[in-house]
Amino acid sequence: MKISISIILFILLTSTTIIIVKGYDEQEFQFFYLEYEPKQCLTLFCPQYLATIANTGHSYNIVDIKVPSFLKKENYFPNTLNLAVYGKIVSITTESISYYNLYISDIFESLAQTETLSQVLEPLYSISFSGLDCKRSINDCPQFIISMINNNNFTNSTLINSFIEPYSSTINYFDREWYYDRLVRENDTQVLVQGEFSNDNRDFKITSSYILLENSKCQDVVSMCHESNPITVYHRDHNRCLKPQFCIDNVGPCLTKDIPNCPLGYKLSYHPSDMFGCPKYYCDPYFLPVIRI
C-alpha cells in the first residue's frame, strides 16, 4: 500500500505538535462492557476500544484508558476479552478534534466456566439481601434482590427466593465460599452476573459472572513451626488468606495422592490441611494473585 508524502508529513507534524485542550467534559461513573477493536489509523487519536454502557446499548469509541495504579494496564489491555468495568467517560476537545477517554476505577474479570457462553451483551445484574428473615419460612420467601446495574431506582429490581450458579457443580475444587462471600453484597458490588429468571421470576439462574479485581487482603504467610514439628497446617478463609493453625512433624496418611488438573481459566493452589497436613486443593481463577506458603 502506498502512502502519500502529504500523509507522512501530517503524521510527523502532529507527532511533534503540542496539543492544546480546549474542552474537557466528565460524565458520571457507570458500568461498561469493554471490547478491544484494533484498528490501523493514520491519525494521532485512534480509538482502539468500544465501551458500551451496560443495560443501555449506548457506546463510545475510546482512544485511551486509565486504570488504578495497583492494576498493571499491560496485563489487561489490549489482550483481555470479556471485561466489565466501572468508570467514567471523559470527552476531550482540541483545536481540531474531539475524542473520548475512559477512566476506570474498577475492573471485573469474566469467570471461566465449562460451558460456551454467548458473546451477546446481555443485561448485567447485582445481587443483594432483601432484609427478610427466611430461616423459619415455609412458603416462598424472597430473601434476595436482583437489580439491573446503572439504574438508581428499584424499577428494574426483582425480589427472588433463590439463585443457582454453574461453577460449583461443573468445576472441581472450585472455592464456593470465596465466590458466595462476594456474590451477595449490600452497597458493595464485587460480582456482576448475567442469567435468566425462572419459576415465575421467583428464582434466577446465573449463566456468567464478572469478578472485581482488587488488591490482595492477605498478610504474608509466616510459618509458626520449629524443627520438632516443622510442618504448618493452615486454614484458608473466604478471602483466600492462609491462617496458621498448628504444627505437625509429618504428613499423612492422605487419601488423595494424585495432583488434580484444573480446567482452562483456572490454576491449582493448595496448602497443608486437616490433622494430618494433607494438601487441600483449589482451582482458583487464573486472574487472582497466587497465595504462596
Nearest to 101 by CA among 82, 80, 77: 77
Q: Are residues 129 and 105 in the same domain?
A: no
3-state secondary structure of 252: coil
**Grid cell at residue 108:** 471485573
Q: Of 164, 184, 212, which residue is a domain's last? A: 212
Checking if the pLDDT of 6 tops 50, the result is: no
- Does some domain include residue 119? no
Average pLDDT over residues 224-239: 87
**What's the pLDDT at 154?**
47
- Does some domain include residue 117? no
**Grid cell at residue 47:** 480509538
**What's the pLDDT at 290?**
78
Q: Are residues 93 and 140 in the same domain?
A: no
**What's the pLDDT at 138?**
63
Q: Are residues 132 and 101 in the same domain?
A: no
**What's the pLDDT at 81?**
64
Where does the pLDDT of residue 258 fall: very low under 50, low under 70, confident under 90, or very high at 90 and above? confident
Where does the pLDDT of residue 222 fall: very low under 50, low under 70, confident under 90, or very high at 90 and above? confident
Where does the pLDDT of residue 74 fall: very low under 50, low under 70, confident under 90, or very high at 90 and above? confident
CA distance linking residue 100 with residue 169, whole number of Å: 42
Where does the pLDDT of residue 115 fall: very low under 50, low under 70, confident under 90, or very high at 90 and above? low
Nearest to 220 by CA among 292, 156, 148, 170: 292
Number of domains in the chain: 3
Q: Are residues 201 and 137 in the same domain?
A: yes
Q: Are residues 273 and 202 in the same domain?
A: no
* Residue 58 burial class via C-beta count within 10 angstroms: exposed 0-12, middle 13-18, buried 19 and up: exposed
- Does some domain include residue 87? yes
Q: Are residues 28 and 103 in the same domain?
A: yes
Range of the domain at 277: 231-285
**What's the pLDDT at 116?**
53
Q: Of 109, 136, 151, which residue is a domain's last? A: 109
3-state secondary structure of 133: coil
Tell me the torsion sign for CA atoms 272, 182, 186, 83. positive
- Does some domain include residue 226? no
Q: Are residues 130 and 93 in the same domain?
A: no
